[in-house]
Chains A and B, each alone.
Chain A
């Protein structure tokens, strides 16, 4: 196994580990999801049909209006939520929503585009307090 450490800005929420689900698309809690089923429902979204439950989600940026600040809390209260969300850059609304929900969220990665650095299926640990994301990957998959 190989581990890769990614430095990011200090985030919010607890330390969590899980399987990554990655896209270079953006994220709106209001318009992209079927929040009851826990899947991406907007047909144009690159993750359409996939489940986000208990995943470490990775997106480019956040979209959507002020209302989405309540939604992560609501999703987490039903246990149908991602474990963490990582962005290249997030807007205040979703960061505020993660603070309310006590969901792990980080952005501003030092090594470049996080949607390229992490791959779907990677085992990932997110430590928002330290601004550190650790990827564990089979050595064969790293190409070494």
Chain B
């Protein structure tokens, strides 16, 4: 890879050990993906839940945090993905003190590095939405696909170590989605059935993601008649990335790089596959459970926006949850503060539900929580969560928010 003088100085260790490690790490990755050089980035966002970090990962961060301040501080604004613990509620969730202690060590290390503890996977709705053409180093696949697709920004999926390296150096290897040639559509889909609820948008994302099936494919979708808002795009993108590892999609007439189909592909050379009513029905049908007892209803992955919190409060007004069913609503610290001020949190919790902030259900020791609380049948309106959570021993069902709430009140899936 071609290095400028500053990058060479980092590699020589002249700017300290953390930046030497960072530039060397990124050169290894850059060489793997044929990056000719580095591209400067304006923001970094890191996913580093303690469940995946483990003791070794936390120690790695602590070693870096013990370096001299001028060597260890990140160079660009850098923020965090959800944590695994909400310190106000972890005992009620039956998470352990050991989990909380590891979480606190991670937070201390991040703060020593100058990272802002935003603890959110909806930073594009709440912190600082990127602009078109902005190069970024974002973690969390849902964040990356939204910023690439809906905002027209440029980011690869950056795992925790690579995000950290980008924060320390202010750059990332120029490969993948930083190059315009990799942003052209390679798969084409035509929708003949219009999504209605957020869970339908998630289902569409899941169907497209599963059929695209690779980081290196870019789906383009035609036939959407509605004008989807940010929450619709959020659920669709998160599911597409989850089901297919897909980092970018185009929605003709909606997303900025695809004002027309011709702008992203040669229509004559790319045949369209149809997605219709039967595809949606089959998608929902794979998650059975109708009529069964529901143990826990979870709204999470991605964290809820203020608008979703408002909708949930309205659905729960004056209602009580079934005594054998729990309901968790997970949001960001920013949204939680607003939702509390506006009375949404109080209205949601009056039903017996619990509002959690700064975490995300599936990266919070979900298996241990499920075993400790006796949660098996899980109901959600998030297609992403339905996809992931089976791997943690749950039996998931996917439905819209209204049905999820009605089921939590009835104690069984309606």
Structural contact, A92 and B29, CB atoms closer than 8 A:
yes
B25 within 8 A of A: yes
Q: How far is the CA of A12 from the CA of B26 in the complex (A)?
A: 11
B295 within 8 A of A: no
Instruction: For B48, list chain A residues within 8 Å (CB).
Output: 70
Q: How near does chain A come to B238, taking the closest CB pair, in angstroms?
A: 10
Q: How far is the CA of A22 from the CA of B51 in the complex (A)?
A: 28
Structural contact, B29 and A67, CB atoms closer than 8 A:
no
- Residue among A11, A30, A67, A95 with the most chain B CB within 10 A? A67
Q: How far is the CA of A11 from the CA of B32 in the complex (A)?
A: 5
Question: Among B52-60, B69-77, B311-319, which stretch is in contact with chain A?
Answer: B52-60
Structural contact, A74 and B53, CB atoms closer than 8 A:
yes
Structural contact, B159 and A96, CB atoms closer than 8 A:
yes
Q: How far is the CA of A100 from the CA of B161 in the complex (A)?
A: 7
Q: How near does chain A come to B332, taking the closest CB pair, in angstroms?
A: 17
Instruction: For A70, list chain B residues within 8 Å (CB).
Output: 48, 52-54, 57, 159-161
Structural contact, B215 and A91, CB atoms closer than 8 A:
yes
Q: How near does chain A come to B371, taking the closest CB pair, in angstroms?
A: 15
A66 within 8 A of B: yes
Structural contact, B56 and A99, CB atoms closer than 8 A:
no
Q: How many residues of A contact B (CB 8 A)?
A: 32
- Interface residue SS majority, chain B: helix
A50 within 8 A of B: no
Selected from B56, B81, B159, B175, the residue in CB contact (under 8 A) with A97 is B159
Q: How near does chain B come to A59, taking the closest CB pair, in angstroms?
A: 13
Assuming the A-B contacts A74-B54, A74-B56, are A69 and B25 also in contact, with contact meaning beta carbons closer than 8 angstroms in the complex?
no
Q: How near does chain A come to B29, taking the closest CB pair, in angstroms?
A: 5
- The proximity string for A residues 79-114 relative to B, scoring 1 for CB distances below 8 Å and 0 otherwise, is 000000000010111011101100001000000000
B162 within 8 A of A: yes
B119 within 8 A of A: no
B242 within 8 A of A: yes
Structural contact, A69 and B162, CB atoms closer than 8 A:
yes
Assuming the A-B contacts A31-B391, A42-B391, are A95 and B52 also in contact, with contact meaning beta carbons closer than 8 angstroms in the complex?
no
- The proximity string for B residues 124-164 relative to A, scoring 1 for CB distances below 8 Å and 0 otherwise, is 00000000000000011100000000000000111111100
Structural contact, A10 and B60, CB atoms closer than 8 A:
no
Q: How near does chain A come to B172, taking the closest CB pair, in angstroms?
A: 10
Selected from B56, B161, B216, the residue in CB contact (under 8 A) with A77 is B56
Structural contact, A65 and B141, CB atoms closer than 8 A:
yes
Structural contact, B176 and A66, CB atoms closer than 8 A:
no
Structural contact, B160 and A69, CB atoms closer than 8 A:
yes
Structural contact, B391 and A99, CB atoms closer than 8 A:
no
B33 within 8 A of A: yes
Q: How far is the CA of A77 from the CA of B54 in the complex (A)?
A: 10
Structural contact, B32 and A9, CB atoms closer than 8 A:
yes
Q: How far is the CA of A74 from the CA of B53 in the complex (A)?
A: 7
Structural contact, A12 and B162, CB atoms closer than 8 A:
no
- Residue among B52, B56, B81 with the most chain A CB within 10 A? B52
Closest to A12 in B: B28
Structural contact, A99 and B161, CB atoms closer than 8 A:
yes
Q: How near does chain A come to B136, taking the closest CB pair, in angstroms?
A: 14
Instruction: For B47, list chain A residues within 8 Å (CB).
Output: 65-67
Structural contact, B60 and A99, CB atoms closer than 8 A:
no
Q: How far is the CA of A12 from the CA of B214 in the complex (A)?
A: 21
Instruction: For A9, list chain B residues within 8 Å (CB).
Output: 32
Q: How near does chain A come to B52, taking the closest CB pair, in angstroms?
A: 4
Assuming the A-B contacts A30-B52, A66-B141, A96-B159, are A74 and B242 also in contact, with contact meaning beta carbons closer than 8 angstroms in the complex?
no
B407 within 8 A of A: no
Structural contact, A99 and B32, CB atoms closer than 8 A:
yes
Q: How far is the CA of A77 from the CA of B29 in the complex (A)?
A: 20
- The proximity string for A residues 1-41 relative to B, scoring 1 for CB distances below 8 Å and 0 otherwise, is 00000000111100000000000000000110000000000
A68 within 8 A of B: yes
B351 within 8 A of A: no
Assuming the A-B contacts A61-B214, A89-B214, are A73 and B57 also in contact, with contact meaning beta carbons closer than 8 angstroms in the complex?
yes
Q: How near does chain A come to B135, taking the closest CB pair, in angstroms?
A: 15
User: Residues on B close to A: CB < 8 A?
Assistant: 25, 28-29, 31-33, 47-49, 51-57, 60, 81, 139-141, 156-162, 175-176, 214-216, 241-242, 245, 363, 388, 391
6 tightest A-B CB contacts, nearest first: A69-B159, A77-B56, A74-B54, A67-B52, A31-B391, A91-B215
Beyond known contacts A65-B47, A92-B29: 18 more, CB 8 A cutoff:
A30-B391, A64-B245, A66-B81, A66-B141, A66-B157, A67-B47, A67-B49, A69-B162, A71-B52, A71-B54, A73-B56, A74-B55, A89-B216, A92-B157, A92-B159, A92-B175, A92-B215, A99-B32
